[in-house]
């Protein structure tokens, strides 16, 4: 088993041991920091993710931004690609591929660019590199999609010294956990 696989398995198992109350409490702390960051960025369009397997739940922020009239999208997996589709309500999200809630496909709701992408992960290092579930979906999205800010989201125990990286891995600019915010030096605020 590779070092990446060992880290992935260990941290997935640790995250699955969290109780629903722990996930909720830790997620609320993350959302508070994300709200502050969103104001700082002065962005108007966002790509969220719907949490699975005890990932931090940041959907309350998505609901708030929708109420404020911001453009909010969620990923729709089509083939081996993520397509950002705008939503007007989280009630539009339905279980899709891999059991992850996603918007129904509507060509007129596809976003061609997004200012901020919230990126889930199983592990992040302080240089912004991440380990996901291993499908490369977010790396392919970030490679071809114009994004102003990439924000990694995880629980504090998922921050590691270094994750093994591949040439195609794209780092996030900021990582927000329930205890800290880590910014890469290259990150620029607008």
Give the model's confidence band at 38: pLDDT under 50 very low, under 70 low, under 90 confident, else very high: very high
Give the model's confidence band at 185: pLDDT under 50 very low, under 70 low, under 90 confident, else very high: low
Q: Is 134 annotated as a binding residue?
A: yes
Q: Is 175 annotated as a binding residue?
A: no
Q: Is 96 annotated as a binding residue?
A: no
Whether residue 101 has pLDDT greater than 90? yes
Within-domain flag for 102: yes
pLDDT value at residue 90: 97
Q: Give the least confident one: 28-32, 124-128, 185-189.
A: 185-189
78 CB-near residues (< 8 Å, 6+ apart): 105
Q: Is 69 annotated as a binding residue?
A: no
Q: Is 99 annotated as a binding residue?
A: no
Structure tokens, 24: 């909720």
Q: Is 8 annotated as a binding residue?
A: yes
Q: Is 179 annotated as a binding residue?
A: no
Per-residue pLDDT of 112-127, as tens digits, reads 889 999 999 999 999 9
Give the model's confidence band at 99: pLDDT under 50 very low, under 70 low, under 90 confident, else very high: confident
pLDDT value at residue 16: 97
φ and ψ at 43, to 5 degrees?
A: -90, 160
Within-domain flag for 177: yes
Q: Is 121 annotated as a binding residue?
A: no
pLDDT value at residue 184: 81
Within-domain flag for 189: no
Q: Is 151 annotated as a binding residue?
A: no
Q: Is 5 annotated as a binding residue?
A: yes
pLDDT value at residue 190: 40
Q: Is 184 annotated as a binding residue?
A: no
Per-residue pLDDT of 3-17, as tens digits, reads 998 999 999 999 999
Q: Is 25 annotated as a binding residue?
A: no
Within-domain flag for 190: no
d(CA 78, CA 26): 31
How many folded domains does the chain comprise? 1
Q: Is the pTM of this model over 0.85?
A: yes
What percentage of residues in the chain have a pLDDT greater than 70?
A: 97
Within-domain flag for 188: no
pLDDT value at residue 97: 79
Q: Is 136 annotated as a binding residue?
A: yes
Structure tokens, 51: 């949490």
Q: What is the mean pLDDT of the chain?
A: 93
d(CA 151, CA 124): 11
Q: Is 138 annotated as a binding residue?
A: yes
Domain that holds residue 107: 3-183
The pLDDT of 66-88, averaged and rounded, is 95
Q: What CATH number corresponds to the domain at position 110?
A: 3.40.50.10420
d(CA 120, CA 130): 9
Which residue, chain included where needed, has tokens 């195609």?
Answer: 168
Q: Is 129 annotated as a binding residue?
A: no
């Amino acid at each position: 088993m590779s070092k990446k696989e060992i880290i992935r398995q260990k941290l997935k198992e640790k995250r699955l041991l969290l109780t629903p109350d722990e996930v909720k409490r830790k997620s609320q702390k993350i959302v508070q920091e994300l709200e502050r960051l969103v104001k700082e960025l002065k962005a108007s369009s966002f790509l969220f993710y719907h949490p699975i397997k005890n990932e931090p739940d940041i959907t309350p922020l998505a609901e708030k931004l929708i109420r404020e009239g911001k453009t909010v999208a969620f990923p729709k997996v089509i083939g081996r690609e993520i397509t950002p589709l705008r939503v007007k309500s989280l009630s539009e999200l339905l279980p899709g591929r891999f059991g992850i809630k996603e918007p129904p496909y509507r060509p007129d709701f596809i976003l061609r660019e997004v200012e901020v992408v919230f990126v889930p992960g199983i592990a992040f290092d302080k240089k912004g590199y991440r380990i996901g579930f291993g499908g490369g979906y977010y790396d392919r999205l970030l490679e071809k999609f114009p994004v102003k800010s990439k924000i990694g989201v995880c629980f504090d125990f998922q921050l590691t010294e270094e994750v093994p990286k591949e040439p195609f891995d794209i780092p996030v600019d900021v990582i927000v956990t329930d205890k800290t915010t880590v910014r890469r030096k290259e990150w620029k605020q607008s």
